[in-house]
Structure 1
Amino acid sequence: MYQILRSAHSGWRYVVLILLVLALIQALAGWFGKKPYTEGNRKLNVFALIATHIQILVGLVMYFISPLVEAGIRYWKMEHIGMMIFAAILVTVGNARSKRGDDGAAKHRTIAIYFGLALIVIVAAILAMTKVDPTRSFFGIS
């Protein structure tokens, strides 16, 4: 069970990264291009939010059934889970705040800032993972 969840969690990160990058690019183009906030923008942001939440749920299940937690590896117990929960909070807050924006540029700006920060945190956590465990790679599914 743990190996299945680990593979799913490791592979699903690409879905999350792709959706966040697409949402960020779209938000930056809308913000700087003064474009209206469309239903397509909203749907992409919601898909990124849902993918992030699925990733967090799978990660939390793994956290509680993982042999690494029992082994006491600090990175997995503290940094990885903390950074990823923080990134999910940024995505959630960004999506919620974008709904309250008055115009399209404000909504795009909110998404760009929050999703961009979340993306930075996620990439930093993945890079830290590759330093803690050299058998893993950023692009390789482990």
Structure 2
Amino acid sequence: MLFAAHSGLRFLVLVGGLFVILYAAVGFFGKREYSSAMARLVSVFTGLIHLQVLVGFAALFVRPFSTILIGHIFLMIAAAVVAQFTASVVKRRPPEERSYGPHLVGAILAMAFIALGIMAIGRGVLQSTL
């Protein structure tokens, strides 16, 4: 059951990351003023990644461990760190200095780590595992 939840939650994480990338790209390339909607989107994306990591760790205790998971685990933790770091850096800036650029770069990096982490266990990013 935890494995199915972990596998299904992946799609929410990917959709959330895609929304962050698109919203940040429109804001960055359109030279728009930073909006609170960006902060909310990033919070949802980061929260989903954290939930995914938590469910993934729980799934480790109910399924047999395989050494192939080591790369997956480290890449997914890297994705969570990048997403959280980006959100924290922008949040600490004064409101007039906040921009879309860090969110765009951070979300692209996090999504790259996620894609690599999924492929590290021999699955396609959008491949069903059930």
- The TM-score, its normalising length taken from structure 2, stands at 0.89
Q: Residue 92 of structure 2 aligns with which residue?
A: 100
Q: How do residues 1-142 of structure 1 correspond to structure 2 at under 5 angstroms? A: 4-67=1-64, 69=65, 73-76=66-69, 78-102=70-94, 106-130=98-122, 138-142=126-130
Instruction: After TM superposition, give the deviation of residue 137 of structure 1 in Å.
Output: 7.0
Which structure shows the bigger proportion of residues in helix conformation?
Answer: 1
Q: Distance in 2 between matches of 1:103 and 1:120?
A: 28
Q: Which runs of 5+ in 1 are unaligned?
A: none
RMSD: 1.9
> What TM-score comes out, normalization by structure 1 length?
0.82
Which of these two proteins has the greater Rg computed from alpha carbons?
1
Question: For 1:38-85, what per-residue CA distance to the aligned partner results, in whole angstroms no more than 9, with x for missing partners?
Answer: 121111111101111110000011123321x1xxx2111x10111101
Q: Give the gaps of 5 or more residues in structure 2.
A: none
Could you list the structure 1 runs, at least 4 aligned residues long, displaced by more than 4 angstroms after superposition: 102-106
